[in-house]
């Protein structure tokens, strides 16, 4: 197995939509949506410039994805602007879990975040992913306030 992580291209749109569908079926089974591909494509168009996606491939086969939403801070006089990243939608096909693919994708995101001089990257894990995140370079913190509808 030779797994790599690369920034997704326009040609990867169907793969990203497929992975999102597979993840949704795992977490929320039973939701058929014939308009999903079009809605997903429109969402991707709206996210252009804000998010970067990566796809992990085992040789040529797509096996995972992740994205980073960049939130740029308002400029400050005499200080660098900086920014934050929100790591989202980390997904690895079941057959490739616990093989290093998730770690590879997170490393790609963090390398990108470092190159962009982001101050921090945050993630909101679900319960099933907590063991993975507890092994990652991320640490649990409580310095954020959250409003939830």
Q: CA 70, CA 130: separation in Å to the nearest integer?
A: 23
Q: Are strands 51-58 and 3-7 parallel, antiparallel or unpaired?
A: antiparallel
* 122 dihedral zone (left: phi>0; alpha: psi -120 to 50; beta): beta
In a domain, 139, yes or no: no
What CATH number has the domain bearing residue 67?
Answer: 3.40.630.30
* Predicted model pTM: 0.90
- Which domain range does residue 59 map to? 3-134
Averaged pLDDT in 10-residue chunks for the chain of 149 residues: 92 95 84 85 92 96 98 88 92 95 97 94 91 92 80
In a domain, 125, yes or no: yes
């Amino acid at each position: 197995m030779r797994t790599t992580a690369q920034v997704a291209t326009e040609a990867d749109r169907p793969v990203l939509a497929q992975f999102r569908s597979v993840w949704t079926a795992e977490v929320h089974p039973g939701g058929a949506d014939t308009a999903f591909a079009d809605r997903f494509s429109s969402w991707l168009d709206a996210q252009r410039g804000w998010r970067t996606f990566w796809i992990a491939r085992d040789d040529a086969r797509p096996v995972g994805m992740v994205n980073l939403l960049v939130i740029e801070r308002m400029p400050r006089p005499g200080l660098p602007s900086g920014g934050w990243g929100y790591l989202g939608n980390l997904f690895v096909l079941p057959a490739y879990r616990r093989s290093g693919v998730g770690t590879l994708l997170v490393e790609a995101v963090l390398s990108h975040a470092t190159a962009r001089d982001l101050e921090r990257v945050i993630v909101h894990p679900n319960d099933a992913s907590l063991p993975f995140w507890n092994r990652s370079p991320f640490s649990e913190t409580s310095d954020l306030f959250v409003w939830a509808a």
